[in-house]
Amino acid sequence: MKSLYGKFLILTVGIMLSSAVVAFLSVNTYYHRYLKDQNDVKNVKVAEQIASFIEENDGLDLTAYFTMLASTGYKLLVVMPEGTSTVYGEAFRDNNLEEAAIRRVYSGEVYHGMRDLKAETFVTGYFSNESANTVGVPFTYAGQTYALFLRPDIKMLFTEIHYLLGGMVIVMAIISILAMLIVARKLILPIVALTKATKKVGEEKFTGTLSIDRRDEIGQLAKSFQQMMDRLSENDQIRKAFISDVSHDFQSPLLNIKGYADLLSDEELPANERKRYAEIIWSETERLSTLTKQLLLLTSLDQLISPLQKKVFRVDQQVKETVRKSQWLLQEKEMSVMLEIDEVRYKGDPEFLEKVWENLLSNALKYTPDGGTIDIKLTEQVNGICFSIEDTGIGMSKETKVRIFDRFYRADHSRTREVEGTGLGLSIVEQVVRLHDGRIEVDSTLGSGTMFTVYLPNL
């Protein structure tokens, strides 16, 4: 496979050569269409002046005169009265002047070879070095008629200035090619670096920094790629931590179930112990079931392809129903709930939002001691709704508030099994609120309780 650098070089040279060919064809076409007649008229006038000068000077030495004219930049073909011809100046590449043209000049006509030269694609008429590409006029010398055919000597007309201009064009072409090579290398080096970084990403190596400091599109691409690598590295760490946490959270209850199941197999185990072990197994099984459901919910949120199933529903009724479902636990813990709920209609996904109220209430019940209170408020605002739930529970530290929405995060791993959760509830809450373009705020002081506030805009 050819490298991009080689392709760029070939493309540059190809463009320059193509441009030269197109320029040559354009100049050739322009000459044949616009300049050829003018060039013919100009040279006919020169030939007529030469003929007039010869006729006015009877004793003129023709050979010396024509030699002098040839030295000034002309090619001359002089046909004698007897039909012989002499060339003054550099010889023609192709002596293709027709006899009929010579006879017409003898008879007094002017020959317009430059004007009547056939157009050719790859030969500019002005440079066509052939005797047919001349102008011809008759002149009289010593009582006899001669035919004079003339054209400029292109080689002699190329003076020092022409060579300087030609050299300048060549130098410009060389410098242009070298400059393009340097530019191409500077353009391709960051692409090579990006290619290497892409291969590393393909090998799941997300570390490293791209040393590409540019302000153009390649620099923007490198910056975006670096951001993507950083995000992939972060996601990779989260994925590994997630797998580790899931494994740990499944392993712990499974070990408990296995251990207590082994104890239950003892036939001499007292009935009260058997009952207690069975309750523990049931509790661990319920914990696994809850964990599995929350993992499935998180997966559905992460892979949400279709839009939320939004519809208008009564949020106040949904919140009241959520509280009613937990009434038994409230009574068991002798807790009181204060409700300040307005009649609120909202357009959102009722199934997902129900998980928000359930998890926030479950969190408050879990970390509020017996006899505590929970205040729930639901109000309708100008641009949306506001839901808040405040408890008199154990609260949380500043460090905990920073990580409270991280998956599997628990502030205190020494809690008893009764209050220990999966560490996924608040992650689900945060993600559902974010999918509804809302936000959630936490106000908590360690030992003084916690208040979560959810703001959902009208969609």
CATH code of 447's domain: 3.30.565.10
Could you give the residue ranges of the DSSP H alpha helices within 147-270?
154-157, 160-202, 217-264
Report if residue 210 sits inside a domain.
no
Rounded to an integer, what distance in angstroms lies between the CA atom of residue 382 and that of residue 386? Answer: 10
pLDDT for the residue 51: 93
Which residue, among 451, 286, 430, 428, has the nearest Cα to 377 in the 3D structure? 451
Kindly report whether the global pTM for this prediction surpasses the value 0.75. Answer: no
- Considering 132, 158, 184, which residue would you say is the last residue of a domain? 158
Average pLDDT, the chain: 82
Beta-carbon contacts of 361 under 8 Å, excluding residues fewer than 6 positions away, are: 322, 323, 326, 374, 376, 389
Report if residue 377 sits inside a domain.
yes
pLDDT for the residue 415: 38
pLDDT for the residue 21: 81
Rounded to an integer, what distance in angstroms lies between the CA atom of residue 4 and that of residue 75? Answer: 52
Report if residue 190 sits inside a domain.
no
pLDDT for the residue 1: 44
Domain with 358 in it = 305-457
| DSSP string covering 15-43 | HHHHHHHHHHHHHHHHIIIIIHHHHHHHH
Burial of 343-370, coded b for 16+ CB within 10 Å and e otherwise, reads ebebebbbebbbbbbbbbbbbbbbbbee
pLDDT for the residue 277: 83
Place of tokens 């712990």: 252
pLDDT for the residue 396: 87
pLDDT tens profile 88-146? 988 888 888 999 999 999 999 999 988 887 766 555 556 778 899 999 999 999 889 99
pLDDT for the residue 104: 93
- In Å, how far are 95, 374, 404, 450, 454 from 365, measured between CA atoms? 113, 8, 17, 11, 18
CB 456 within 8 A of CB 350: no
Report if residue 242 sits inside a domain.
no
- Considering 134, 158, 182, which residue would you say is the last residue of a domain? 158
CB 454 within 8 A of CB 387: yes
Rounded to an integer, what distance in angstroms lies between the CA atom of residue 429 and that of residue 297? Answer: 11
DSSP helix/strand/coil, 162: helix
* Ranges of the chain with pLDDT below 50: 1, 305-306, 413-419
Report the number of distinct structural domains present in the chain: 2
pLDDT for the residue 418: 39
Report if residue 266 sits inside a domain.
no
Rounded to an integer, what distance in angstroms lies between the CA atom of residue 76 and that of residue 150? Answer: 5
- Considering 158, 185, 214, which residue would you say is the last residue of a domain? 158
- Give the phi and the psi of residue 118 in degrees, each rounded to 5: -65, 140
Look up the CATH number of the domain holding residue 132. Answer: 3.30.450
Report if residue 236 sits inside a domain.
no
CB 81 within 8 A of CB 145: yes
Report if residue 258 sits inside a domain.
no
Which residue, among 317, 374, 375, has the nearest Cα to 343 in the 3D structure? 317
- Give the phi and the psi of residue 54 in degrees, each rounded to 5: -65, -45
Report if residue 241 sits inside a domain.
no
